[in-house]
Amino acid sequence: MKILFITIFTLICTLATVVAQRPKRILKALETGYPRKLEVVYKTVGKRELPFDMYYPAEETAKPCSVIVYTHGGGWAAGSRFGASSGGFAPLFKDLTARGFCVVSVDYRLYKKDGAIRMRDCVIDCKDAVRYLVKNSAELAVDPERLFVFGDSAGGQIAQMLLLSPPRSLPGDPDLADVDYKVVAGLSWYGPCDFEKVDLFNHDDRPDFRDRFGSRIVDADDSSEEKLRLYREMSPVTYLKKDSPPLFMIQGDSDTTIPVKHAYYLEKKAKELDASVQILIVKNSGHNWRKVGADISPTRDEIVAASAKFFVDQLK
């Protein structure tokens, strides 16, 4: 009898722990008032499962629905899919789901200083997330022909890579390697476009500037030729062509992390190629739309409105 009691008590405690842990993850997710599909595992690397969360529009919205894949920022070394519920992004995603879009927020492996995981792996994971989404689009009730991407900072670079690089480039999961996809358009908030031109990160043109992101792409022992190859591989501008899908870049003019130089540089390259790149420069803004000196212009609300309008306009 005593053994039975102990067993039952242990089971109750275990169940209570599971129940207590799961709501914590659910509470981190964005609450839109519409249906959600959380913790969809799109691939497994070793013993680690990589999931994304799906935020659907209203039940009565026609299915399959347009889908926006969101890749979070954090310097390729921090952050998570729960960034979708933060104050900077929740208003935009709530607006987009209200307009009939499904927003998919992706987790990906993060950079490690020992070199086990690099920027390349972050991009590969997110490409696999898109591949999985397209491969299972019928089951997930999304339209693979109306696929968009959006990211901020490091996630902005990843979004640009998803938009501009060939679908089958940077393969990851063998089961997803043959999946083709086509992105309609992409949005980047303060994301870098080129790592080969290190001076684009030197916001004030200081003579003693040091590249802070190079180690997340290359190894110190790599040859100069290999470093150049890897820098170009991770630079979205490398893949920009005349017929590339439309890209909208929004950058702050006082951003010292990802300087506004990146937006101007990509705009210049786009004009040379006659490619579709639109930029919006936010005055008095540092990284993450932080106010520098005076109030930012356009305002955060206006940035959200311009971002939502971009996606809606691309559907027309």
Domain harbouring 152, CATH code: 3.40.50.1820
What pLDDT is stored for residue 60 in this prediction?
A: 79
Specify the residue for token string 């080969």.
196
Q: What angle do CA 303, 234, 182 make, to 5 degrees?
A: 65
Q: Is residue 106 a part of any domain in this protein?
A: yes
**272 in a domain, yes or no?**
yes
Q: Is residue 57 part of a domain?
A: yes
Q: Residue 23 falls within a domain, yes or no?
A: no
In a domain, 1, yes or no: no
Q: What is the pLDDT of residue 24?
A: 57
Do 123 and 151 contact (CB within 8 A), yes or no?
A: no
pLDDT of residue 26: 67
Q: Which domain holds residue 86?
A: 30-315
DSSP bridge pairs for 45 = 48
Q: Is residue 218 part of a domain?
A: yes
Is residue 25 in a domain?
A: no
Instruction: Tell me the helices (H) and strands (E) count for the chain, helix number first.
Output: 8, 8
Q: Looking at residue 157, what is its pLDDT?
A: 98
Residues of the chain with pLDDT under 70: 1-26
The model's pTM is: 0.91
Q: How many domains does the chain have?
A: 1
What lies within 8 Å, CB to CB, of 67 at 6+ separation is 101, 102, 103, 104, 133, 142, 143, 146, 147, 148
Residue 4 lies in a domain: no
pLDDT tens-digit readout, 149-204: 999 999 999 999 999 999 999 999 999 999 999 999 999 999 999 999 999 999 99
Model pLDDT, residue 25 = 62
